[in-house]
Amino acid sequence: MIPNDATAADTRRNRLLSSLELAIAAAAVIGHNVFHVVPNEVPILVVLALVSRWLRAKRWSELGFRRPESWRRLVLLVLGAVALRWAVGYAVEAITAHFWPPIVAPHGTDRIVGNPAAALAALGIVWTFAAFGEEIGYRGYIMKRAADTIGGGRLGWLAGLVLSAVLFGFGHYYKGPAGILDSTFAGLIMGGLYLLSGRCLWATILAHGLSDTLAVALTYLGLNN
């Protein structure tokens, strides 16, 4: 009886701590992107993820840094996610053009056109801040904390998928309403990829990096208008 009581108490503490962490993470996302009262949320989320892992004495697999069962399957999933992300992106732009302003591009995008130095700098940001930073923060951390808050299981991870995607959308608030919607769908795709890959963060890091690399390449060539 005592072990069961101890386990139940640990579960309650974990859910309480997870809900507190989730609230802090959401406040960082909204506070920076909507109200502009806190610094950029991505470094904050990464630090929170690392501190959370340390406090729980967990392995790196807690954040999704685990070896995939099959690299071949992972690559196929990544390529499929990138293709789906671009298809959905074009659909969102085409549909929302009838009632919302165009999606606002990230600051400095116009400098990339025909400029190798600017394109290389953008790729550096893509593979550090976006691919690693955002995936650790939104998929590796927020999804997990949301799932734990609900109690785990399929329902918990579904809630984590939706909530992390919505926050990811608001993480791109500067893009306007169409951009928020587009990024929310992107969050759903990346979150779905995370789950399909067995919660392997390498899958979403690669997909995010490749998708944004393609965007930089097309912008450099003047084809991403």
CB 64 within 8 A of CB 143: no
pLDDT of residue 57: 80
Quote the tokens at residue 162.
């939706």
Task: Give 94-121 pLDDT, tens digit per residue.
Answer: 999 999 999 999 999 999 999 999 999 9
CB 202 within 8 A of CB 74: yes
pLDDT of residue 172: 98
Q: Closest Cα to residue 174, out of 33, 64, 35, 24? A: 33
Collect the ranges in the chain with pLDDT lower than 70: 1-3, 6, 225
Share of the chain above pLDDT 90, in %: 89
How many residues would you count in the chain?
A: 225
CA 175 to the chain's CA centroid: 16
CB 190 within 8 A of CB 139: yes
pLDDT of residue 2: 45
Task: Give 17-31 pLDDT, tens digit per residue.
Answer: 999 999 999 999 999
Question: What SS3 string covers the chain?
Answer: CHHHHHHHHHHHHHHHHHHHHHHHHHHHHHHHHCCCCCCCHHHHHHHHHHHHHHHCCCCHHHHCCCCCCCHHHHHHHHHHHHHHHHHHHHHHHHHHCCCCCCCCCCCCHHHHCCCHHHHHHHHHHHHHHHHHHHHHHHHHHHHHHHHHHHCCHHHHHHHHHHHHHHHHHHCCHHHHHHHHHHHHHHHHHHHHHHHHCCCCHHHHHHHHHHHHHHHHHHHHCCCCC
pLDDT of residue 158: 97
pLDDT of residue 191: 98
